[in-house]
């Protein structure tokens, strides 16, 4: 399991809270993870030092390896954006300590995908069909990256996020702006977003401000019967499998 998937699973359980015990005041978990796009190793290091959970190296393959190595490599949720990826490229990224790759169905070769070595985040657009989304669980994805313009959403936009999560069984990574509000983060969290991704060039002050707002998002309220997001069974099975994997680590 990739570090990215472990972090997504952990924050989901923390945000859900324990049964019968309330969180101590001042110990409110963040609503979601914060990722940052980084063009070089120094930007990746600075983002991690500021508290970012996930780094995505959006650079060429060779430069991405430098970003990954400079950011700490193995053991960190540091991935690479791959426009196109073949088996040789995937092997090189894995050897460099890449935790996951972000790419498209058209750009990533099937032979390059080995989720035992590296996680996979699929880049999608809002127009992806229900049929394709239903087939995605077979790929063992860590999540979907939805390219969207950051900012307030209409209900139609929110329902599109819910559709992606419900049919694919995967949680979302979405871009956010430096001025994203607590209310906007709440909507994203409630729509199935697991990782808010800050733009390339975000400085330490902006990253810390986003983290603070993520901590200020109120806990989920109990939903009315029938109002839950209809996650497909594949997601529930995947989460159960991940929980079992983590239990095995302690044996």
Render pLDDT for 212-222 as a digit per residue (tens, 0 to 9). 999 999 988 76
In this predicted structure, what is the pLDDT of residue 232? Answer: 45
Spans of all domains in the chain: 3-249
Q: Hey, what are 91's tokens?
A: 């092997």
In this predicted structure, what is the pLDDT of residue 87? Answer: 94
CATH 3.30.70.260 fits 3-249, yes or no: no
Per-residue b/e over 146-169, b at no fewer than 16 CB within 10 Å? Answer: bebebeebeeeeeebbbbbbbbbb
Gap between the Cα atoms of 164 and 172, Å rounded: 8
In this predicted structure, what is the pLDDT of residue 75? Answer: 67
pTM: 0.83
Mark the ranges of the chain whose per-residue pLDDT is less than 50.
Answer: 18-26, 228-237, 239, 250-251
In this predicted structure, what is the pLDDT of residue 105? Answer: 95
In this predicted structure, what is the pLDDT of residue 16? Answer: 55
Render pLDDT for 73-96 as a digit per residue (tens, 0 to 9). 556 899 999 888 999 999 999 998
In this predicted structure, what is the pLDDT of residue 66? Answer: 83
SS3 assignment, position 76: coil
């Amino acid at each position: 399991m990739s570090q990215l998937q472990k972090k997504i699973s952990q924050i989901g359980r923390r945000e859900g809270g324990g049964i019968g015990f309330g969180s101590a005041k001042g110990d409110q978990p963040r609503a979601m993870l914060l990722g940052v796009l980084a063009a070089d190793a120094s930007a990746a290091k600075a983002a991690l030092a500021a508290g970012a959970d996930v780094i995505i190296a959006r650079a060429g393959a060779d430069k991405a390896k430098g970003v990954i190595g400079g950011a700490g490599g193995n053991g960190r949720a540091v991935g690479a954006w791959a426009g196109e990826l073949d088996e040789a490229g995937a092997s090189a990224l894995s050897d460099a300590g890449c935790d996951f790759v972000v790419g498209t169905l058209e750009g990533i070769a099937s032979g390059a995908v080995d989720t035992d070595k590296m996680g996979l985040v699929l880049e999608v657009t809002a127009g992806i069909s229900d049929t394709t989304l239903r087939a995605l669980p077979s790929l063992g994805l860590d999540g979907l990256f939805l390219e969207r313009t950051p900012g307030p959403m209409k209900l139609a936009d929110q329902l599109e996020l819910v559709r992606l999560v419900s049919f694919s069984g995967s949680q979302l990574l979405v871009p956010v702006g430096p001025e994203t509000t607590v209310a906007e983060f709440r909507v994203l969290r409630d729509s199935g977003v697991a990782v808010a991704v800050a733009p390339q060039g975000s400085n330490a002050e902006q990253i810390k401000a986003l983290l603070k707002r993520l901590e200020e998002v109120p806990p989920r309220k109990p939903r009315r019967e029938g109002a839950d997001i209809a996650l497909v069974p594949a997601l529930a099975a995947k989460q159960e499998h991940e929980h079992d994997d983590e239990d095995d680590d302690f044996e």
